[in-house]
Structure 1
Amino acid sequence: MAVFALPPFPDLSIGPDMDLQLALIFLQQGIASGLVSGSVYALLALAIVVIFKTSDVPNFAQGEVFMAAGYVALYLFVFQKMPIWVVLPATLVVAFLAMALFRRFVLDQVAKSAKDLVYLVIATLGLSYVLKGLVRRTGFGDTPRSFPALVPTDSIMIGQASVTMLDLAIFGTAVTVMAAFFWMFNYTKTGRAMRAVGMNPKAAQLVGVDLRRCHMLIWGLSGVISAIAALLISPKILMTADMGSIVMLAFAAAIVGGFSSLPGAVVGGFVIGIVENMVGLFISSRAIVLAPFLAILIVLVLRPQGLFGGKLTIKKV
Structure 2
Amino acid sequence: MTLDVVFLFLQQGVASGLVIGSVYALLALAIVVIFKTSEVPNFSQGEMVMAAGYIALYLLVFRSMPLWIVMPATILVAYAGAALFRRLVLNQVARANGSPVNLVIATLGLSYVLRGFVRQTGFGDTPRSFPPVVEPQSIMIGQAAVTTLDLVILATAVVVMVAFFWMFKYTKIGRAMRAVGMNPKAAQLVGVDLTRIHMIVWGLSGGISAIAALLISPKVLMTADMGSIVTLGFAAAIVGGFTSLPGAVVGGFLIGIIENLVGLFISSRAIVLAPFVAIMLVLVIRPQGLFGGRVEIKKV
Report the TM-score when normalising by structure 2. 0.99
1:85 matched to which residue of 2? 68
Instruction: Report SS of the residue matched to 2:146.
Output: strand
Distance in 1 between residues matched to 2:210 and 2:75, nearest whole Å = 6
Match of residue 5 from structure 1: none
Give the Cα separation in 1 of the matches to 2:47 and 2:299: 31
Q: How does 1:156-305 map to 2 (within 5 A)?
A: 156-305=139-288
Paired position in structure 2 for 1:35: 18
> What is the alpha-carbon distance in structure 1 between the residues aligned to residue 290 and residue 159 of structure 2?
23
- Give the TM-score normalised by structure 1: 0.94
Q: Does structure 1 residue 59 correspond to structure 2 residue 37?
A: no
For residues 116 and 33 of structure 1, the distance between their equivalents in structure 2, rounded to whole angstroms, comes to 43
Q: CA deviation at 1:116?
A: 2.0
CA shift for structure 1 position 151: 1.1
User: 1:278, CA displacement in angstroms?
Assistant: 0.4
Q: Which residue identity lines up with residue 280 of structure 1 in the other structure?
A: G
Quote the Cα distance in structure 2 between the aligned partners of 1:196 and 1:116. 24
**1:316 CA drift (Å):** 3.8
| 2:80 aligned with 1:97 | yes
Secondary structure, aligned partner of 1:114:
coil
Opposite residue 224 of structure 1, the aligned amino acid is G
Secondary structure, counterpart of 1:140 in structure 2: coil
C-alpha RMSD of the superposition: 0.7
Partner of 1:125: 108
Between the aligned residues of both structures, percent identity stands at: 77
Match of 2:293 in 1: 310
User: Residue type of the partner of 1:70?
Assistant: G
The runs of 4+ residues in structure 1 deviating greater than 4 Å are none
Instruction: State the partner residue of 2:91.
Output: 108
Give the whole-Å Cα distance in 2 for the aligned partners of 1:212 and 1:115.
18
Question: Residues of 2 paired with 1:259 and 1:286: CA distance?
Answer: 28
User: Unpaired runs of 5+ in structure 2?
Assistant: none
Structure 1 regions of 5+ residues with no counterpart? 1-17
